[in-house]
């Protein structure tokens, strides 16, 4: 059976006290709605529809980045969840399969739970995801008659008896897509909020002789984000899960609570992660690599047995080959560092290719920007770059070539050659003493 995802992401999120749409706030370096999408894609959906509203253009741009095949539709007026699902009608025209409704502000509903939801659809026309709430509060209640779900009642509209029910509604629903849209079309807004509730489709389905049931999950999977405080709590939960998963897969985190992951971070087996490391989005660290303390990595690839840091920064586009070494206070950007190459101290390497076993001395800088355009530096295999060398791009240093300490390299260096590009030293006897004596005299005169 084909699956379509409908991700509801239209809410403004007033309680976030932000100009951003609620679902654009980040969790693990990714927009909130991307987490719902990521879990949902385990169902291998044939179509994905995001229903946006406030800030729809921002949501659409972000959605296109994670999956160009996503369809974004706009709910111009926020008239309830039922009305939101109805906006997906045109996007699902001709679709033959089940639809699963997810929520862009509910990031933890897991793949296994969604698989059980879809499996339950084989024996019921509509399946709702519920949970036993420790404090049911203002959640909607699932009214069950044995295995049959007879209705969902919103807290505002519930009787005292119904409010005593602890089985609550997560909002996640699975039904045949055409049936779901037919049911939504029959939902009215005669309720305390004057909205079209998606939950009302259960009563509509019952009146049409259709069956409904519920599957349950842990309450933690239903955590919705409405405030900055809830977002911070969700980040804490996400980070704890990411750390546990990394260690379960064989990585060593020396001080787990100090390591910060992103939603797409990949850490290989036997990789060692020292304290206070930040993985921004887009990072892969292969097996056996070591990321030393206080390093920051973003959109980069670290190959086997490479070493990074301490206090290193790998920026987008960085590729470290096997056994490469990036040392303390080194910044790499949009550069490929060859196998066994070393950039050990206090250097900036941007827009560059560094060959295998090359050695870049302390203070090496690839001068890649002329104020308008970026230019590339190429350093050959086994080249030696002396400390404090400025490589003014575009420039190439050949294989096994060398630059001397303090050189400013503006022309290509042939393979095997030594480049010396610094002014001749001149010593002036006694001039230092005279110079400082003059400066002290000037200072004393000003002090009077």
- Catalytically active residues, by annotation: 345
The torsion angles phi and psi of 426, rounded to 5 degrees, stand at -125, 130
With 0-12 CB in 10 A as exposed, 13-18 as middle and 19+ as buried, what is 48? buried
With 0-12 CB in 10 A as exposed, 13-18 as middle and 19+ as buried, what is 439? exposed
Alpha helix ranges (H) inside 224-365: 228-248
Q: CB of 260 within 8 A of CB of 276?
A: no
Structural tokens at position 314: 């790998």
Count Cβ atoms below 10 Å from residue 132 Cβ, excluding itself: 12
Output the CA torsion 410→412→418→420 (10° steps).
Answer: -10
Contacts for 379 with CB less than 8 Å, ≥ 6 apart: 352, 353, 354, 355, 358, 360, 385, 391, 396, 397
The torsion angles phi and psi of 119, rounded to 5 degrees, stand at -65, -40
């Amino acid at each position: 059976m084909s699956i379509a995802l409908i991700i509801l992401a239209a809410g403004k999120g007033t309680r976030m006290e932000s100009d951003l749409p609620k679902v654009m706030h980040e969790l693990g370096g990714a927009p909130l709605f991307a987490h719902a999408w990521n879990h949902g894609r385990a169902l291998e959906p044939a179509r994905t529809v995001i229903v946006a509203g406030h800030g729809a253009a921002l949501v659409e741009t972000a959605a296109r980045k994670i999956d160009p095949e996503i369809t974004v539709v706009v709910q111009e007026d926020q008239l309830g969840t039922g009305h939101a699902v109805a906006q997906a009608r045109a996007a699902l025209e001709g679709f033959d399969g089940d639809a699963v409704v997810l929520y862009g502000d509910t990031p933890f509903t897991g793949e296994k739970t969604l698989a059980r939801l879809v499996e339950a659809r084989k024996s019921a026309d509509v399946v709702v995801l519920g949970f036993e709430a420790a404090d049911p509060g203002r959640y909607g209640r699932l009214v069950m008659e044995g295995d049959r779900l007879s209705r969902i009642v919103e807290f505002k509209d519930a009787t005292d008896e119904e409010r005593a029910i602890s089985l609550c509604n997560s909002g996640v629903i699975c039904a045949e897509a055409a049936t779901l849209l037919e049911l939504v079309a029959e939902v009215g807004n005669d309720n305390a909020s004057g909205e079209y509730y998606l939950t009302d489709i259960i009563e509509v389905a019952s009146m049409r002789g259709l069956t409904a049931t519920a599957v349950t999950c842990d309450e933690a999977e239903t955590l919705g984000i409405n405030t900055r405080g809830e977002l911070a709590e969700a980040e804490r939960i996400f980070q704890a899960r990411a750390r546990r998963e990394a260690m379960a897969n064989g990585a060593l985190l020396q001080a787990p609570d100090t390591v910060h992951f992103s939603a797409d971070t990949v850490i290989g087996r036997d990789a060692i992660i020292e304290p206070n490391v930040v993985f921004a989005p887009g990072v892969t660290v292969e097996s056996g690599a070591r990321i030393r303390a206080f390093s920051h990595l973003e959109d980069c690839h670290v190959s086997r047995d490479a070493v990074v840091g301490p206090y290193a920064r790998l920026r987008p586009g960085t590729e470290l080959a096997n056994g490469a070494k990036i040392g303390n206070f080194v910044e790499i950007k949009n550069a490929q560092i060859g196998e066994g190459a070393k950039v050990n101290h206090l250097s900036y390497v941007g827009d560059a290719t560094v060959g295998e076993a090359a050695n870049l001395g302390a203070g090496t800088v690839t001068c890649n920007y002329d104020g308008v355009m970026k230019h590339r530096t190429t350093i050959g295999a086994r080249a030696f770059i002396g400390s404090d060398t400025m490589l003014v791009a575009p420039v190439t240093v050949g294989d096994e070539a060398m630059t001397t300490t303090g050189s400013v390299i503006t022309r290509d260096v042939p393979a095997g050659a030594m480049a010396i590009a610094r002014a001749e030293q001149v010593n002036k006897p006694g001039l230092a003493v005279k110079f400082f004596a003059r400066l002290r005299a000037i200072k004393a005169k000003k002090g009077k």
